[in-house]
Amino acid sequence: MNIALIFIFSALFIEPPIHYVIDNDVELVEVGDIPIKNERIQISTTQWILPFGGNFLFVQSNPVGVSAMDVETGDVAELGSVGQGPFEWRTPRYAQVIEDELLIWDDGNLKIIGFDETFQPSRELTGIRHGVRAIQFTSNGLAGVLHDVPMSGEYVKIYRFSEDNQPNLKESFGEISEEGRKLIMILQSGGILWNGDDLLWSDPAVPELNIFNTNENKHTKIAVPDNDFAVEPWGNRRENRRNVEEFIFSNSRIVSLQKLDEFILVEIENFSDDESSIRYHLFDFDYNYIGNVNAGEGGFANYIRGVDDGNRLLYWGEDYTETGELNSIKAREVVVR
């Protein structure tokens, strides 16, 4: 793929140039399905699937909360309990495994709950007093946060947690387009992650990576070269439910940012003739563009739900389309030739 020009991906945005392009063939290899035998793991509320200590963790935004399934036996245990007390939650929304600890953001109680590898409570972090759309932690006490989007102003925050587990606001930045504001109303839209000292995030309506280096306090942007990415201007439309839903289900978006063992993956959904498709774009950790691969049909049921060891991606199982129940995990591996 020869890229020598700055791309224009929609009528709205002129993108920054991408870095050096490495021309590679990218493939998605089907790995197989992992069966699930527990009726309390519900497809409609399972947001994320994470590997942790020989288990798969299912993060559900309901009173069940977080369930751990032993990979070998299939046995399922539930972590914590619903409530407002210590190590209790109301609406688990995001989870991340970092240095043998599971950290869970509870949107209902506005707090972070930690568990060790034996699923014993390890710590609670409170003090973030706004709703969160996405959150990512580092091993040195930083948290990058996409907050619920206000009508104006910055929505990307970096917090540093003190020794008593209280957050101190370190940085605040990030404007969002009006179109991105509408698209981010979908739970899984846009994204945030850490790459070393860099915090990466995306406006879902703009095909680019925002990169903030915490050492130099420097903000740069890298284009994501997707020729099918198109977003209509919101313009003067009335903001009612019908118009918002029509906009959401007819315009391209960045669905998520994922960090694999070897790559940064940008998950994009495009729309054409009332049908949608998903494409993955890969960058190395120096932000050189590696290539892209078509990932099949779009739709909420086909979004990435987690990343396993290596470059393996996790999804809701194929059985969901037939039964409406989550009876298996589907796995695919990203291979670069």
Q: What is the CATH number of the domain that holds 105?
A: 2.120.10.30
pTM: 0.88
The answer as to whether 210 is a domain residue is yes
d(CA 61, CA 57): 13
- DSSP assignment string, 105-169: EETTTTEEEEE-TTS-EEEEEE---S-EEEEEE-TTSEEEEEEPP-SSS--EEEEEE-TTS-EEE
Structural domain boundaries enclosing 74:
26-336
Q: Do 126 and 118 contact (CB within 8 A), yes or no?
A: no
In the chain, how many domains are there?
1
The answer as to whether 17 is a domain residue is no
The answer as to whether 7 is a domain residue is no
d(CA 67, CA 57): 6
pLDDT tens for 45-74 read 677 888 888 888 888 776 677 888 888 888
The answer as to whether 16 is a domain residue is no
The answer as to whether 4 is a domain residue is no
d(CA 120, CA 68): 12
The answer as to whether 270 is a domain residue is yes
The answer as to whether 200 is a domain residue is yes
Residues found in the chain: 337
Q: Which of 305, 306, 336, 299 is nearest to 321 (CA)?
A: 299
Q: Which of 11, 76, 61 is nearest to 329 (CA)?
A: 76
Long-range CB contacts for residues 104-110, cutoff 8 Å, separation at least 24: 104/59, 104/66, 105/132, 105/135, 107/61, 107/131, 107/132, 109/84
Tokens (6 digits) for 139: 């091993």
The amino acid at residue 270 is N
The answer as to whether 5 is a domain residue is no
Give, for all 337 residues of the chain, the pLDDT tens digit.
434 333 333 333 334 555 555 556 888 998 888 888 766 676 656 778 888 888 888 887 766 778 888 888 888 888 878 888 888 888 888 888 888 899 988 888 889 999 998 888 898 988 787 778 788 999 888 999 888 766 556 889 999 988 887 888 899 887 888 898 888 876 667 789 999 999 999 999 999 999 999 999 999 999 999 999 999 999 888 888 899 888 988 999 999 999 999 999 999 999 998 899 999 999 999 999 999 999 999 988 899 999 988 789 999 887 666 666 677 888 999 999 8
